[in-house]
Amino acid sequence: MGATEPDEGITLYEAVGGQPFFDGLVDAFYEGVLTDAVLRPLYPDDDLAGAHRRLALFLGQYWGGPLTYMEERGHPMLRARHMPFPIGPVERDHWLLHMAAAVERLTPPGEIRDKLMGYFVPAADAMRNDAGPGLQVGPRR
Ligand code: HEM
């Protein structure tokens, strides 16, 4: 095992040096989102700092850090929390493009990068809420 690869038994959170890594990742991600005509309208103008904090704390917690996200927000329920935003393949791809760029900027090729992307790719797809023709065309009884 090379020196840059985490040993068995330490979390990815520890391997990347803790919360500052996730704060930096989310900084880089939002740099992309702010210039993105598809995504920018979905994010709150008046609470970008809050959105930044929620994503960074969630990711820190997800990868083995402290449970601060849960303490502040409760159970993540990410699919439910994304329901207010229309997320189809286009939104998913834009989101992933900026996250992949952030991951590439902050991590060298290797295990950590692969683990992060191995989560983000299917998780971003799981946030889609455009499934099923006719599902959202009107009130259902
Ligand atoms: C790996 C996939 C994703 C993860 C882990 C993730 C994570 C999160 C988290 C933790 C929040 C804050 C939830 C809260 O506490 O209220 C959030 C909010 C949000 N997400 Fe995602 N998300 C993902 C994919 C997406 C995608 C594909 C979109 C596409 C548009 C998206 C758009 C948003 C928006 C607009 C918000 C509201 C911003 C806010 O005020 O917090 N997310 N996301």
Nearest residue (CA) to ligand 1, atom 17: 55
- Confidence band, pLDDT 50/70/90 cuts, at residue 2: very low
Domain range for 74: 16-126
pTM, two decimals, is 0.90
Burial 16-29 (b: 16+ CB within 10 A, else e): bebbebbbbbbebb
Yes or no: say if 83 and 73 are a contact pair by the CB < 8 Å rule. Answer: no
Instruction: Look at the chain and report how many structural domains it folds into.
Output: 1
The answer to the question of residue 132 being in a domain is no
87 within 8 A of 128, measured Cβ to Cβ = yes
**Residue ID of nearest Cα to ligand 1 atom 39:** 51
Query: What's the 11 CA to ligand 1 centre distance in angstroms?
Result: 23
Ligand 1 pocket: which of 92, 95, 97 to mutate (most atoms within 8 A of CB)? 95
Q: Is residue 7 part of a domain?
A: no
Distance from the alpha carbon of residue 90 to the mean position of ligand 1, in angstroms:
15
9 band by pLDDT with thresholds 50, 70 and 90: confident
Position 30 in a domain: yes
Measure 126 CA to ligand 1 centroid, in angstroms: 11
In a domain, 2, yes or no: no
Residue-wise pLDDT for 86-130, tens only, equals 999 999 999 999 999 999 999 999 999 999 999 999 999 999 999
